[in-house]
């Protein structure tokens, strides 16, 4: 990773953290796409996880009063089950599969509520959210749209949604770093230093996103989330299909 690329990464961390601060997930999708362009798949997923721990951690801290700890605990149980299953089968990601899987995820946010009425406030739904969302996060590096369908249809307000999802993602990203630890060790000390320097940029971006979030209505929050995630998904799908061709 050259110095110009490291500098560009810091800028990307700020803007993607801002995006996540507003919508709760889109920033991670964009950041992973950038990292996949410059790093091997497993390494990119681990690095994105390390950066997202900071971004999501600061977002969870800013909104800590709104975290639903009961939902968080149940989701973590599901994540544990998914992690053990992937470890047992010795799962290894490849770039085309990761891109296509991420590209298809936005379909979930367009499914009518009458077809798939999921609600993270229900314990069994929260557990399924942990299994599916946690499993996808470990397998392809992101799971925002999957987790989102369990929250976007609840009666929780946007602040509680953002706070609980952020806390969930902190734990999920930490699990991802552990899962891909061997891939992360290929990075040079300079590259890890650049990631460490990214921490204040992630926090600053999250703070900016938190400020914007307070000025959005619940209706606008849900509408914009769908369209932004869909646009990002189309990019990933096209890239994945191109790699296969």
pTM confidence score: 0.78
**What are the respective helix, strand and coil percentages of the chain, to the nearest 5?**
80, 0, 20
The Cβ of residue 79 has, within 10 Å, a number of other Cβ atoms equal to 26
Number of folded domains that form the chain: 1
The DSSP code sequence of 148-170 is: HHHHTTSS--HHHHHHHHHHHHH
User: What is the tens place of the pLDDT at every residue in 169-197?
Assistant: 899 989 998 999 888 777 777 777 777 77
Least confident of 16-25, 52-61, 87-96, 143-152: 16-25
Parent domain of 220: 3-244
Give the integer Cα–Cα distance in Å for 50 and 168: 14
């Amino acid at each position: 990773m050259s110095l110009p690329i490291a500098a560009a990464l810091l800028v990307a961390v700020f803007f993607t953290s801002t995006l996540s601060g507003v919508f709760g997930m889109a920033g991670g999708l964009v950041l992973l796409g950038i990292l996949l362009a410059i790093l091997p798949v497993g390494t990119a997923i681990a690095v994105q996880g390390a950066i997202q721990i900071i971004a999501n951690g600061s977002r969870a801290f800013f909104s800590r009063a709104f975290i639903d700890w009961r939902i968080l605990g149940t989701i973590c149980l599901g994540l544990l089950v998914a992690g053990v299953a992937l470890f047992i089968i010795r799962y290894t990601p490849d770039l085309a599969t990761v891109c296509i899987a991420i590209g298809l995820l936005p379909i979930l946010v367009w499914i009518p509520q009458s077809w798939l009425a999921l609600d993270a406030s229900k314990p069994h739904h929260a557990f399924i959210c942990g299994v599916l969302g946690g499993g996808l996060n470990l397998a392809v590096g992101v799971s925002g749209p999957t987790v989102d369908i369990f929250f976007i249809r609840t009666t929780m307000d946007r602040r509680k949604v953002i706070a609980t999802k952020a806390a969930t993602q902190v734990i999920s990203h930490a699990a991802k770093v552990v899962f891909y630890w061997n891939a992360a060790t290929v990075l040079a000390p300079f590259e890890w230093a650049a990631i460490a320097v990214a921490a204040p940029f992630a926090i600053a971006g999250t703070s900016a996103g938190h400020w914007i979030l307070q000025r959005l209505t619940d209706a606008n929050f849900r509408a914009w989330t769908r369209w932004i995630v869909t646009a990002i998904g189309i990019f990933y799908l096209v890239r994945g299909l191109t790699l296969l061709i």
